[in-house]
Structure 1
Amino acid sequence: MSNRRGFLRDNSLGLFFLAAFLLALAGQALAGRTEYNNQLEAEQLEPVGFWTYVSSSDFGVDVMENWQSEYLQFFLYIFLTVWLVQRGSPESKSPGREGRESDEEQYAGEHAAADSPRWASAGGTRQWVFSRSLGLVMGTIFVLSWLAQSLAGAAAHNERRLQQLQAPLSWGQYLTSADFWSRTLQNWQSELLAIASMAVLSVYLRQRGSPESKPIGSAHASTGVEG
């Protein structure tokens, strides 16, 4: 029992957000099916069941367009904070420390500690991959989810066009359509605004005990300091 409590405590942040994600996804599916069936009934078409809806392109494109924008946010933030700074933000490195930093600062190669990941002390390709693995994985998930959004979006868009007796679009045509870019950019702009807000507001505002905030007594100009 104590081991289970220890596991839950040590992983509580990830477990909380995973559970919240599943609940939100289920709620989206239920609400989305209701809205979708309302549209079908308004067009005098038969409503669909729950599993039919969650396997549909309409549900898939709604999910994927949110996923790709979230992973774009993380991908950009991970890479851009290597080179760009925001003075006073705990989310930023201190001005003057831009760049990839030395092996000594990164505990890499011959500077790796005894408990460092094995690939941190390796050279060549393994260290190169490991030293960029977080950004590479986030970027890959973004690209794949954006691709999935484009495929599901094209299917959903063509379904509506066929209902209106219009010719379907090819995938390439859909990629240049207003529907695809409207779905994409409405998510991108919100994520980019959220990043900018967090980087700037954390200079002047505090949240006691959070690692995303500076200690409440830290000067506004203090950069890269976590609470």
Structure 2
Amino acid sequence: MKPGSKKHSYFYRNGLTIVFLTLFIATLAAQALTGWKKHNQDLKEDHAAEIGLTTYLQSGHFISATFENFESEFLQMALYVLLTVSLRQIGSAESKSLDKPEEVDREPKPSKDAPWAVRKGGWILKLYSNSLSICFAILFLASWATHLYGSWQNHNVEQLAKHLPKESVTAYLGQAEFWFETFQNWQSEFLSVASIVFLTIYLRQKGSPESKPVDAPDLETGK
């Protein structure tokens, strides 16, 4: 802690992460419980045996529903991080300035307080300089693959309930079902990003780092 700086509580210093993680856990639990009841209702209608909650958490129904959402969120963030490097939107709080140099574009300089990768330099620094987008891309690909696995497993459960043969993952990939699940999530994420990019031109939220100052001109770009 820097000399003279105010000492804050752990929650004050980490409140944003704590609140969002708490909301995530609470809503994931609610999704699991309601999804379990809905899945058992579907099984009952198909004259199949109901399953317990533990079994449901390992089922394709739960895995697919969970990871198709993760997938779209990580894709959104990966593209957002990458596209805001070079693309601009005049007047948006989410865009870099059209003309002025930005602090995020400066070349990293080693110092005693800099991250280890900056002090190390070389390929490690190059990797670290792009680590945020790389991390989101890996999370997206892992979530996409897990969504595919869960959706395929759930599809085959439905096939058996209808007394139809199971299908291979390759055959399932050629069907519209998986891609319908995929694109309905992707389009909503792209719309949400476009909304915050555009709406921050004209609308404000006092105190939020995602907004321009309340008295800033509409066409002033950046925060």
CA distance in 1, matches of 2:145, 2:188: 20
Structure 2 unmatched runs, 5+: 1-6
Corresponding letter in the other structure for 2:193: I
Judged with a 3 Å threshold, the aligned counterparts in structure 2 of structure 1 residues 73 and 29 are, in CA distance, closer, same or farther, namely: same
Match for residue 78 of structure 1? 81
The answer to whether 1:24 aligns with 2:37 is no
Identify the match of residue 94 of structure 1 among 71, 94, 97: 97
CA distance in 1, matches of 2:101, 2:144: 30
Match for residue 129 of structure 2? 131
Judged with a 3 Å threshold, the aligned counterparts in structure 2 of structure 1 residues 101 and 39 are, in CA distance, closer, same or farther, namely: closer
Which secondary structure does the structure 2 equivalent of 1:139 belong to? helix
The answer to whether 1:53 aligns with 2:56 is yes
Which TM-score applies when normalising by structure 2?
A: 0.91
CA distance in 2, matches of 1:157, 1:47: 17
Corresponding letter in the other structure for 1:207: Q
> Which protein, 1 or 2, shows the higher relative CO under an 8 Å CA cutoff with sep ≥ 6?
2
CA distance in 2, matches of 1:75, 1:164: 39
Q: What pairs with 1:100-179 in structure 2 (closer than 5 Å)?
A: 105-106=106-107, 108=108, 111-179=109-177
Match for residue 68 of structure 2? 65
**Contact 1:82-1:100 within 8 A present in 2 as well:** no
Paired residue total: 217
Identify the match of residue 14 of structure 2 among 11, 16, 19: 11
CA distance in 2, matches of 1:98, 1:89: 16
Q: Which region of structure 1 is more displaced relative to structure 2, 172-181 or 210-219?
A: 172-181
CA distance in 2, matches of 1:46, 1:94: 60
Judged with a 3 Å threshold, the aligned counterparts in structure 2 of structure 1 residues 6 and 222 are, in CA distance, closer, same or farther, namely: same
CA distance in 2, matches of 1:158, 1:207: 48
Q: Percent identity?
A: 37
| 1:146 shift after superposition | 0.2
Match for residue 186 of structure 2? 188
CA distance in 2, matches of 1:122, 1:99: 24
| 1:100 shift after superposition | 11
